[in-house]
A and B are shown apart, each in its own frame.
Chain A
Amino acid sequence: MTSSDSQPTDPGGPSIEEIARTATLARLALDQEGLEAARTDLTAILEHVALLSSLDVEGVEPMPRPHDIVNRLADDVPGPVLDRSVILSLAPAVEGDFIAVPKVLGEGGA
């Protein structure tokens, strides 16, 4: 362990409550059966991932990407953009020149 805020999952795997919380974060609507299936799958996968906990990684710098490549900055000038009509043609719901979405704010407003 390299940080006190982070603990590996209980050997029994994530709880149903944790799976439900994760599904909410992932914007997935799972029913009870879906949650149970996900718990079974994630438990088996995380058990395999636990192979990593036996390795000594003390002092090893995390490597988020291969090689030491860095993003190149582009000149701050306008480039080609898609025409508005093209963008609107891709949208599943349109009202006039706008993409239609459900009400964003709750009844009380914000």
Chain B
Amino acid sequence: MKMTDSKPDSSNDLLARVDDFKSGRISATERVENALSTIAGLDPTINAFHDLLAEEARSTAKELDATRERGDDLGPLAGSIIAIKDNICMNVGRTTCSSRMLEEYRSPFDATVIERLRAAGAILLGKTNLDEFAMGSSSEHCAWGPVRNPHATDRVPGGSSGGSAAAVAADCVDAALGSDTGGSIRQPAAFCGTVGFKPTYGRVSRHGLVAFGSSLDQIGPLSRSVRDAAAIYEAIAGLDPADSTTSDLEVANCLASGPADPARLRVGIPREHRNDRNHAGVNEVLDHAVDRLRAAGATIVDVDLPLTRQGVSTYYVIAPAEASSNLTRFDGIRYGHRAESVPGEGLEDLYARTRTEGFGDEVRRRILLGTYVLSAGYYDAYYKRALQVRRLIKQEYDSAFEQCDVLLGPTTPTPAFPIGADLDPVSMYLNDVYTVNSNIAGIPALSIPAGLVDEDGEKLPVGVHLQAPAFAEADLLAAAAALESLLAD
């Protein structure tokens, strides 16, 4: 399976297909059948999907076709086909988090983002594979086999939203939702040649997202274009009474004025993000993007983010600490896997056997790490210190954004690596070196495809990463749309 290009293509994006549907060039029912046929052909290889929601999708499509036939109002995403990462609850099918722990779990409610996508007219076609409980950067830590990168099926798609990224890259769906705790939307987007957008913490409701790191998690879109990402973001963002951390700030119509004028953009290039540790091709792709912006009149400024590498250390204290707390709920009592009972066994034994059986290696590792850094005697040395460094990282961003409107760097240090590379945990975590600090500071960030590199005879996508101040999604998306346009020329 070879993808032809990794450049953005708005002639073939979600909004183009919504227009096709609304203008009567194709029915929603035909769209669903076409997508199911594509998935049937490709998914045995890429393994992007868990459950397909074919009957649900057909039923929604039929309703949309009837609505269009009557001439009634159609939503902004009407007729689009969207896949959902399988850690987002839906009241149809299973919500497994790619874990044996939730193998048969059926959520009795919809996440807020699901309600909002449905209200916007989207057809939700299936649940996508992920690293178990969203913990991973390769989509190999999956209970039912790894996801494969559609550009090179011997390589990972990135993670943890690897199934969502692969499904979009392989054109199985128009777009997908992912979740991003330290780069889990943007890193797979970069590896698979799609757009991946993590909004500001608090912009999108986490109600119904199975919690990993509650002060870091954010839901966002993976799409074929920046304008698609903006449209999906606008549909799902905004205050939600069911998530008290959502912001009541108004969600702007992000691309109402079109892409930003590059001549009015100040783009900061963090010195720490362009270095010799990156794959040479990654630096070349970044340099090309900077050159295009400069040639279009953008002001390019060098900025410093000296705590870039310490971000990974900070993240791998805060995220496991929060995960160890959030995952205590999986105890085999109220829902999920329960170990076979053993005569004479007490409740504590049942908890321990259930959790040891139900969780995979990476999840157990992070629960242990989180429990350790929160335990008496180590709390201040690790957890409290990490929260202090978190503030320093935020202050570092505040200083950088005094000099520029957006930051631009590589999304990842390397292109997609081979499946089974068997990276040690720290090496795997360093994949997120350029993405974790956006979550730590809670700012919006986005990866767009910016070129291809040759690696062992394969052409692999490379993404560039844009970051903006908190709640400046409109500016970020406008800048990204401008860069997308420059790179497409």
The residues of A with any CB-CB pair to B shorter than 8 Å are 1-3, 5-9, 14, 18-19, 21-23, 25-30, 38, 41-42, 44-53, 55, 57, 60-67, 69, 71-72, 74, 82, 86-87, 90-93, 99, 101-104, 106
Contact = CB atoms under 8 A, between A and B. Distances in A.
A2 B380 contact: yes
A7 B380 CA distance: 8
**Interface residues of B, dominant DSSP:** helix
Contact of B202 (A38, A46, A50, A69): A69
Interface in B257-299: none
Interface residues of B, number: 77
17 contacts: A5-B376, A18-B372, A28-B367, A42-B368, A48-B429, A49-B317, A49-B373, A52-B386, A53-B385, A55-B389, A57-B389, A65-B442, A67-B202, A90-B108, A92-B332, A99-B334, A101-B347
**Interface residues of A, dominant DSSP:** loop
A92 B347 contact: no
B310 A67 contact: no
- Kindly name the residue among A49, A60, A71 whose own CB sees the greatest number of chain B CB atoms within 10 A: A49
A80 to B, nearest CB: 9
A6 B391 CA distance: 20
Given A45-B316, A52-B314, A101-B333, A106 B385 contact: no
A6 B108 contact: no
Contact of B350 (A21, A52, A102): A102
B389 A52 contact: yes
Contacts, number: 194
A55 B387 contact: no
Contact of B426 (A44, A60, A101): A44
Nearest to A82: B108
Contact of B368 (A8, A28, A71): A28
A62 B364 contact: no
B377 A7 contact: yes
B457 interface: no
B351 interface: yes
B381 A14 contact: no
A7 B106 CA distance: 44
A102 B385 contact: no
A103 to B, nearest CB: 6
Contacts of A5: 376-377, 380
A44 B245 CA distance: 34
Interface stretch (B22-30, B143-151, B336-344): B336-344
B309 interface: yes
B392 interface: yes
B44 interface: no
- Kindly name the residue among B244, B317, B341, B378 whose own CB sees the greatest number of chain A CB atoms within 10 A: B378
A42 B389 contact: no
B341 A102 contact: yes
A96 B379 CA distance: 43
A18 B389 CA distance: 26
B42 interface: no
B215 A60 contact: no
B10 to A, nearest CB: 32
Contacts of A45: 316, 369, 425-426, 429
A28 B87 CA distance: 22
Interface in B329-374: 331-338, 341, 345-353, 355-356, 359, 364-365, 367-369, 371-373
Contact of A62 (B108, B109, B387): B387
B249 to A, nearest CB: 10
B153 interface: no
A68 to B, nearest CB: 10
- Kindly name the residue among A55, A66, A67, A90 whose own CB sees the greatest number of chain B CB atoms within 10 A: A66
A94 to B, nearest CB: 11
Contacts of A72: 244
